[in-house]
């Protein structure tokens, strides 16, 4: 375990930037906190989960799949190696989930080209919102930065991670990490209790259609829940054609849109907001547990934060438990 004091942060990242493209938690000019480049804002490691889909580094909102000019496919330049800091343990769970999804059956080259070229660092310790404790990640990443209220204790989980921090001094006091390593699995999480209870109720078919009609009435189809969710992976594909060029790209899609499932003949098996909202929640809490053996909501809270009408997954799960448990 290595030690990184706050005053050495800038120098540490400056050194890394010589070999890596850095994406770090930053504070943008209006105070929005995201994972981005230091040219856009100042470093902001504290504050918990950043806004925006953290998995966007590998699955951006829009990306070019193919570009053909005068009948020749353009070569795609290799991306620079990325070093991304800012994943919470919940974000790492989401990443692990979509890694498996994008590798299952068919392998999504575009995703893995970016993913395998990146090193990932988690943030944990007392660096949550207002100094709240973020549980230890304990793996699923190359590095973990643990804030012990005075310095960052840095733990490597991969060979890449070890190399990245080999020049840092060893940490002298690591008891707090050891203590958390032992207690983290038993830390209670009310949100997890709620989401698991809602999942059971859904799988037991205890939630009536009338509930989904109520929730659907509050959906304005902004699609933000999907676009902010780190485990949502649906995308649409478009072709742009001009005189001598065709460009095929994909962009994040949303199951909250009517066109998502509409058949060419016009019929839509998910033709109402109620059905679409039901599907969104069902997918995460009922279908994914069957397919993958786990609920695919890792409680990051982003859909609840972006939803203008308060029907993010945690809010809906809470209503389900309150009314049908």
**68-76, 133-141, 191-199, 246-254 -> range binding other proteins (CB under 8 A):** 246-254
- Interface residue with other proteins among 4, 25, 41, 55 (CB under 8 A) is 41
- The answer to the question of residue 209 lying near other proteins (CB under 8 A) is no
Are 25 and 124 in contact by the 8 Å Cβ rule? The answer is no
Indicate the DSSP class of residue 47.
S
- Interface residue with other proteins among 103, 217, 291, 292 (CB under 8 A) is 217
Find the binding residues for other proteins in span 53-82 (CB under 8 A).
Answer: 56, 60-63
Which residues are registered as beta bridge partners of 153? 3, 146
- Interface residue with other proteins among 144, 253, 288, 319 (CB under 8 A) is 253
- Interface residue with other proteins among 31, 105, 188, 293 (CB under 8 A) is 31
**109-117, 139-147, 169-177, 238-246 -> range binding other proteins (CB under 8 A):** 238-246
Rg (CA), the chain: 21
Q: How far apart are CA 94 and CA 25, in angstroms?
A: 18
- The answer to the question of residue 292 lying near other proteins (CB under 8 A) is no
List the structure tokens of 57: 């580094």
- The answer to the question of residue 6 lying near other proteins (CB under 8 A) is no
- The answer to the question of residue 104 lying near other proteins (CB under 8 A) is no
**Residue bearing tokens 């699609």:** 223
- The answer to the question of residue 307 lying near other proteins (CB under 8 A) is yes
Report the nearest approach of other proteins to the CB of residue 39 (Å): 7
Report the nearest approach of other proteins to the CB of residue 50 (Å): 10
Q: How far apart are CA 256 and CA 276, in angstroms?
A: 5
Are 254 and 227 in contact by the 8 Å Cβ rule? The answer is yes
Q: How far apart are CA 142 and CA 159, in angstroms?
A: 8
**Residue bearing tokens 């330049």:** 77
Question: CB neighbours of 2 closer than 8 A, spacing ≥ 6?
Answer: 153, 154, 155, 156, 165, 168, 169, 170, 171
- The answer to the question of residue 288 lying near other proteins (CB under 8 A) is no
List the structure tokens of 261: 């499932």
- Interface residue with other proteins among 1, 8, 9, 28 (CB under 8 A) is 28
Question: How remote is the C-alpha of 216 from its chain's centroid?
Answer: 25
Q: What values do phi and psi take at 9, rounded to 5?
A: -55, -50
- The answer to the question of residue 258 lying near other proteins (CB under 8 A) is yes
**7-15, 163-171, 196-204, 239-247 -> range binding other proteins (CB under 8 A):** 239-247
Q: How far apart are CA 194 and CA 203, in angstroms?
A: 14
By CB under 8 A, name the binding residues for other proteins.
23, 28-34, 36-37, 39-41, 51-52, 56, 60-63, 217-218, 220-224, 227, 236, 238, 240-242, 245, 247, 251-254, 257-259, 266, 305-310
């Amino acid at each position: 375990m290595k030690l990184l004091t706050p005053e050495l942060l800038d120098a540490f990242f400056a050194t890394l930037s010589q070999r890596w493209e850095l994406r770090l938690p930053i504070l943008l000019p209006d105070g929005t906190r995201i994972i981005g480049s230091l040219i856009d804002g100042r470093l902001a490691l504290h504050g918990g989960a950043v806004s925006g889909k953290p998995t966007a580094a590998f699955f951006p909102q829009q990306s070019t799949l193919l570009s053909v000019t005068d009948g020749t496919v353009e070569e795609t330049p290799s991306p620079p190696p990325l070093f991304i800091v800012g994943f919470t343990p919940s974000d790492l769970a989401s990443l692990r989930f979509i890694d498996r999804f994008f590798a299952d059956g068919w392998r999504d080259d575009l995703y893995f080209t970016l993913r395998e070229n990146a090193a990932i660092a988690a943030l944990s310790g007392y660096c949550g919102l207002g100094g709240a404790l973020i549980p230890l990640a304990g793996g699923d990443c190359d590095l973990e930065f643990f804030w012990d209220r005075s310095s960052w204790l840095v733990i490597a989980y991969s060979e890449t991670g070890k190399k990245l921090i080999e020049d840092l001094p060893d940490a002298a006091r690591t008891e707090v990490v050891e203590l958390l390593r032992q207690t983290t699995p038993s830390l209670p999480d009310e949100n997890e209790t709620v989401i698991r209870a809602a999942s059971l109720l859904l799988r037991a078919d205890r939630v009536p259609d009338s509930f989904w009609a109520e929730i659907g009435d509050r959906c304005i189809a902004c699609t933000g829940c999907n676009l902010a969710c780190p485990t949502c992976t649906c995308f649409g594909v478009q072709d742009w054609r001009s005189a001598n060029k065709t460009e095929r790209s994909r962009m994040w899609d949303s199951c909250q849109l009517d066109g998502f499932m509409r058949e060419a003949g016009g019929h839509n098996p998910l033709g109402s907001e109620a059905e679409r909202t039901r599907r969104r929640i069902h997918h995460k809490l009922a279908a994914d547990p069957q397919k993958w053996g786990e609920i695919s909501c890792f409680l990051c809270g982003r859909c609840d934060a972006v939803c203008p009408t308060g029907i993010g997954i945690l809010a809906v799960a809470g209503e389900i438990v309150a009314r049908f448990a």
